[in-house]
């Protein structure tokens, strides 16, 4: 079944600012999607000129999401997923991966981008046995996210919290860690945190991000792998810990990606 958000379509589209590049739309462009505007393509091309590896990193991060969701549904018995910072619909979204493994899975997507909201119906497809829903909320408001997600998810049962490439938009590191702690504190034992972000491990990446941030977009902060590991404090990391996304439990037949990208992530359980 699906549960439609209250605000979709023309009302959401009317709020879209096409004069400034936006990260979700640029990411969509790098992944080969069509939900972007000229301003996003120009910014994406300028970024790629400085850091040509960005598209490879974007694909690696996407495959990391797929492997993590598949592992949690198939191997860890997780049936509920809270995906915050959803981004634009792409191939193999969280609900598609989870419900392919276990049709009964329940998924809540959270974002506050009007274009994502306008495309929410594409995210709200579901198996008859499962549920998907969409919450229009800001990452900086964890209490609202938990309250609204609780209308679909049962917080007495384990939940996989997914923060995929979103914490870099919280400029203050302590604030970002506080948000993660508040969200994790709302989850029961046996829940998981899945998280990745881009790192400062490439000088050209750092230059490209600086140019992007100087262009007036919502800033994105590159952090060290050690800082990303800090988001998992108090949790038990699954092997191989925090690693380059391409190195987190790669499929044996994986091809086309380098051994190392500048997006780092991990999966951890709350005991």
Q: Say which CATH number the domain at 45 has.
A: 3.40.50.150
Q: How many Å apart are CA 244 and CA 56, to the nearest integer? A: 12
User: Which structural domain, as residue segments, surrounds residue 201?
Assistant: 17-270
Q: How many Å apart are CA 52 and CA 50, to the nearest integer? A: 6
Q: Whose CA is closest to 217, among 97, 49, 78, 40?
A: 40
**Is 153 a member of any domain?**
yes
Q: Check pLDDT > 60 for residue 7.
A: no
Domain count for the chain:
1
Return the beta strands (E) in the chain as ranges.
80-84, 106-111, 131-136, 160-164, 192-198, 236-237, 243-244, 263-269
Q: Whose CA is closest to 13, among 108, 89, 120, 126?
A: 120
Q: How many Å apart are CA 57 and CA 81, to the nearest integer? A: 24
**Is 12 a member of any domain?**
no
Mean pLDDT on 130-137: 94
**Is 165 a member of any domain?**
yes
Model confidence at 247, pLDDT cuts 50, 70, 90, reads very high
- Residue count of the chain: 271
pLDDT of residue 91: 73
Q: Whose CA is closest to 198, among 38, 56, 31?
A: 56
**Is 8 a member of any domain?**
no
Q: What is the pLDDT of residues 10-25, one digit of tens each?
A: 554 555 677 788 787 8
Q: What is the pLDDT of residues 201-215, one digit of tens each?
A: 999 999 999 998 988
pLDDT of residue 11: 55
Model confidence at 4, pLDDT cuts 50, 70, 90, reads very low
Q: Specify the range with the lowest mean pLDDT, choosing from 49-58, 228-237, 250-259.
A: 250-259
**Is 4 a member of any domain?**
no
Model confidence at 183, pLDDT cuts 50, 70, 90, reads very high
Pairing of strands 192-198, 160-164: parallel
Q: Check pLDDT > 50 for residue 8.
A: no
Name residues whose C-beta falls within 8 Å of residue 195's C-beta, 6 or more positions apart in sequence: 162, 163, 164, 167, 180, 228, 231, 232, 265, 266
pLDDT of residue 14: 52
Instruction: Let me know: does 164 contact 83? Beta carbons within 8 Å.
Output: yes
Q: Which residue has the higher pLDDT, 134 or 19?
A: 134
Q: Check pLDDT > 50 for residue 6.
A: no
Mean pLDDT of the chain: 90
Q: How many Å apart are CA 218 and CA 170, to the nearest integer? A: 10
**Is 11 a member of any domain?**
no
Instruction: Let me know: does 99 contact 127? Beta carbons within 8 Å.
Output: yes
Q: Check pLDDT > 90 for residue 106.
A: yes
Model confidence at 169, pLDDT cuts 50, 70, 90, reads very high
Q: Check pLDDT > 80 for residue 259.
A: no
Q: How many Å apart are CA 242 and CA 251, to the nearest integer? A: 17
Q: Check pLDDT > 60 for residue 5.
A: no
Q: What is the pLDDT of residues 39-87, one digit of tens each?
A: 999 989 999 999 998 889 988 999 999 999 999 999 999 999 999 998 7
């Amino acid at each position: 079944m699906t549960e439609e958000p209250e605000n979709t379509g023309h009302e959401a589209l009317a709020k879209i600012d096409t004069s400034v590049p936006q990260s979700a739309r640029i990411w969509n462009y790098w992944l080969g999607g069509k939900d972007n505007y000229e301003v996003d393509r120009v910014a994406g091309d300028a970024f790629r000129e400085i850091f040509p590896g960005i598209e490879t990193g974007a694909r690696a991060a996407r495959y990391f999401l797929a492997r993590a969701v598949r592992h949690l549904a198939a191997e860890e018995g997780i049936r509920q997923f809270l995906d915050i910072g959803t981004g634009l619909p792409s191939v193999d979204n969280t609900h598609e991966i989870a419900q392919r493994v276990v049709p009964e899975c329940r998924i809540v997507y959270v974002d506050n981008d009007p274009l994502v909201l306008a495309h929410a119906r594409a995210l709200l497809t579901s198996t008859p046995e499962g549920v998907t829903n969409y919450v229009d909320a800001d990452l900086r408001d964890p209490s609202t996210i938990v309250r609204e997600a609780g209308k679909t998810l049962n917080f007495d049962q384990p939940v996989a919290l997914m923060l995929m490439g979103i914490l870099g938009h919280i400029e203050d590191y302590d604030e970002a860690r506080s948000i993660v702690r508040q969200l994790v504190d709302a989850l029961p034992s046996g829940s998981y945190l899945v998280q990745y972000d881009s790192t400062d491990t490439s000088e050209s990446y750092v230059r490209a991000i600086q140019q992007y941030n100087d262009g007036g977009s919502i800033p994105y902060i590159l952090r060290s792998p050690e800082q990303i590991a800090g988001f998992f404090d108090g949790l038990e990391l699954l092997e191989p810990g925090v690693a380059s996304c391409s190195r987190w439990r790669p499929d044996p037949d994986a091809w086309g990606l380098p051994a190392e990208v500048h997006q780092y992530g991990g999966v951890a359980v709350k005991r």
